[in-house]
Amino acid sequence: MLDPDQLAADEPANSADDSRPLGVRKMLDLGAATGRLTHVERLPERQGRRAEWPGWMPIELVTAFGHAGVPAPWTHQAEAAELAWAGENVIMATGTASGKSVGYLAPALTAIMEGATALYLAPTRALAADQLGLVKSLGTGLGAGQGGGHGTGRGATLRAAVVDSDTSFSERASARRHATYLLTTPDMLHYGLLPQHQRWRGFFRRLRFVIVDECHGYSGVFGSHVAQVLRRLRRVAAYHHGSAGGFGGSSPQAVQFILASATISEPAKCAELLTGATASAVTRNGAPRGPMTFGLWEPPLTSTRGVAGAPVRRSAIAEAATLLADLVRDGTPALAFIRSRRGAEAAAAAAKSKLTEAGDDELTHRVAAYRSGYLPEERRQLEDGLRAGTITALAATPALELGVNITGLDAVLIAGWPGTRAALWQQAGRAGRTGRDCAAILIARDDPLDTYLVHHPQALLHRPVEATVLDPTNPYILRPHLCAAAAELPLDDDDLTLFGSAAPGLVAELAERGMLRNRGGRWHLTGLRRAPLASLRGSGGPPVRIVEESTGRLIGTMDEPSAHVLAHAGAVYPHQGDLYLVKSLDLGDSVALVEAGDPGYVTSARELTELTITAEHRRIDWGGAAVHFGEVEVVRQVAAFTRRRPDTGQPIGEEKLDLPSRVLRTRAVWLTIAPEQREELAAAGVDLPGAVHAIEHAAIGLLPLVAACDRWDVGGVSTDSHAQTGMVTIFVYDGHDGGAGFAERGFTAAAQWLRSTSLAISDCECGAGCPSCIQSPKCGNGNEPLSKSGALALLDRMLADAPDPEKGATPAGGESGGRRTARLRGDRAVP
């Protein structure tokens, strides 16, 4: 490991033969000189390892790969191909740009040439369209798509087609008749292909391989939905195989899955959660890559004072914008990942104005924003600009991760912890694809988790990435899929096994509600009760369209829960660097009308929350403290919004809103302490309301460390005396109906989670609390009351009798732990 001082000292001597691009070198020098670079790590170049093409591949296919620039497979590609061809389900979990497509295309295209079909699933339409280009270029080598037979029997040709919601009726009809390699999304499979499987029977009858690309993207609620869609697919394929003499009889194993993922922990388990079938994991990456410098970067505290006089750290977005502007000036192609849509817009705008301020007006057109919610034409324009080199700096939301293949970047800036180590390396992997020396920098946001991570690099580096979290047993998710499955084909007992242990109980419940009826031992959907199919993306309901009132132009879309918070009347909404003021939000019509213009302030919604425990499932006692897991009902309402100064976030006025409340039935983890502990802390002068609120914020901030979630996927409620428990209680709940597995992960890893929370708070250099530790940007209560010292005292009490998660070591590990653990007074669990 390099330390920043050493790096700076070495720099002059090495710079002559330093292969790092100019902009990268200057950025690292700046970070070292200012102390913002808290950690630097040099990841060495990796040599590629080639393998032979499998003997079973037709020579035409080997030749086609050769023409496409793949003379021989890398070892992981060959390993995956061999396993798949031998009849196993396979998951390839290797890094970005490791060429996983060769690993699945080799067996899939061979099978197609023998008369089978293959289905390719991508999480986004953009990625499916991108893959079509790849397959078509191979297909040209195979003489595909130029008339000829319809792909029945030996010598069949490769006919690739994308089917998504944009596909016209005639294109769809043509794909049904001719396609042997079909590219689509889980959403289209759910809404289109499976409900109409009889019309697609020619395709399903011959379906052998199902490719699930970028499968690490299927986590949380979306992942849990996709898991059910894949089970429905297995059932439909088995039916068509059985009825028409396909490949594997009538067992649900009739199709084989080849999954491709970023590096994740427990890939085989992830594959099994997603598909319900066991799989072999291929994890040793044989592809080469250039050397990379990876850095952790903490923006400085500013002289500005924020809420309650707390110091304000320069935002990761502002820092990324400045660095982007520098990189543009040095001609170094760079991409900044910004977590929010607004942030991406703001970063691009700020980078442009930095260039203008410095008199580099002519460079501003090289900077652009890119995010989900853009219209396809807008996206395509930006992608073309990047390829052509007219755009060299992009501020993008991580939606890009699941989209197009952008190459040739020398630097990647990650503004804010992307939520998982898997996502971090995925995003970092966007740099240096051409084998050139490159850099990836994680810039800390002003929040507790980021602060913790830039000061504890060992929590980030040299550790396996986290396992995917999804919950195929969530009844809210499973119920509509059981109905959809019953509509596709009546359910029998074997099917219920396929859908898991929760299925029989839910089927009985659906029968009681008159939605399913048993006839001849099989469950049928009753004709009158067909509900519209649920959205896989969690929110339910149609997306809200953002429309410019004066022109009727569609500016973007967002899901309804987001619209309550971001597109309520009076909200300031940014798009492509322009600001819009929301005039009205009509939830009935799912439309928000906006007008362009910068009102000189930003807005944040104020939400009221009430929480009721409906069932407690599990509990762990730590002396008088306890950790609980169970079901809760949360009623939330955006009741008002606050106008804030754009630079400091200080409030300048509040306005009431009249939006309906939303009821969430979900799962939560909650923490309590015994009444005598409460007395003890109160007697010692601890501000309990401030303490629980501070712990709630920081614990939500740190949950992603143990559960692969986003801070925004969970919510919290805290009170120094909850009506039901009668005790000091801190709740953290999944933000989706039925839960998504995150709160449960918090429960199982509670000791590690709360110890890290305590360290993140005590680590922070502020006095009485700031956004880097206990303040929350999503607080519905204006960050009042909060007590930093109270939070530490209360956590100390809670953890006094908790087990040590990594026995013998502090949870943070590492050399600098001593100073901080000393603050855990009397904590006998920590050495």
In the complex, the residues that contact Zn ion under the rule CB under 5 A are 764, 766, 770, 772-773, 779, 781
DSSP letter string, 722-768: -TTT-S-EEEEEESSTT--SHHHHHHHTHHHHHHHHHHHHHH---SS
Name the residue nearer to Zn ion (CB basis): 279 or 773: 773
Which CB sits closer to Zn ion, 411 or 766? 766
Which residue's CB is nearer to Zn ion, number 219 or number 789? 789
Sole residue written with tokens 């003379």: 71
CB proximity list for 368: less than 8 A, separation 6 or greater: 348, 382, 385, 391, 393, 394, 395
Residue 81 to residue 820: CA distance in whole angstroms: 49
Q: How far is the CB of 564 from Zn ion (least distance, A)?
A: 17
CB of 421 to Zn ion, least distance (A): 24
Q: How far is the CB of 397 from Zn ion (least distance, A)?
A: 25
In the bound state with Zn ion, the residue whose beta carbon lies nearer, of 204 and 452, is 452
The DSSP result for 245-290, as a single string, is T-SSTTSGGGSEEEEEESS-SSHHHHHHHHHSS--EEE------B-
**3-class secondary structure per residue, 145-174:** CCCCCCCCCCCCCCCEEECCCCCCHHHHHH
Q: In terms of CB distance, is 465 or 605 closer to Zn ion?
A: 605
Q: How far apart are CA 189 and CA 164, in angstroms?
A: 9
Locate 812 and state its tokens.
């943070």
Question: CB of 446: closest distance to Zn ion in angstroms?
Answer: 9
Rank residues 21 and 311 by Cβ distance to Zn ion and give the closer one: 311
CB within 8 Å of 326: residues ≥ 6 apart: 23, 26, 27, 30
Nearest residue (CB) to Zn ion, 332 versus 729: 729
Nearer to Zn ion among residue 546 and residue 764 (C-beta): 764
Closest CA to 260 of 99, 400, 130, 136: 99
Nearer to Zn ion, 219 or 772 (CB): 772
Give the number of C-alpha atoms closer than 13 A to the C-alpha of residue 790, restricted to the C-beta side.
Answer: 24
Q: Which is nearer to Zn ion, 45 or 610 (by Cβ)?
A: 610
Return the number of the residue (409 or 773) whose C-beta is nearest Zn ion. Answer: 773
Total Cβ atoms within 10 A of residue 145: 16
Q: Provide the 10 A C-beta neighbour count for residue 614.
A: 12
Cα separations in angstroms, 791 against 608, 714, 799:
23, 20, 12
CB of 765 to Zn ion, least distance (A): 7
Quote the least distance from Cβ 767 to Zn ion, whole Å: 8
CA 388 to chain centre: 29
CA distances from residue 51 to 80, 81, 563 in whole angstroms, order as listed: 12, 11, 51
SS3 for 389-415 is: CCCCEEEECHHHHHCCCCCCECEEEEE
Would you give the end-to-end CA distance of the chain in angstroms?
Answer: 26
Residue 694 beta carbon to Zn ion: minimum distance, rounded to whole angstroms: 9
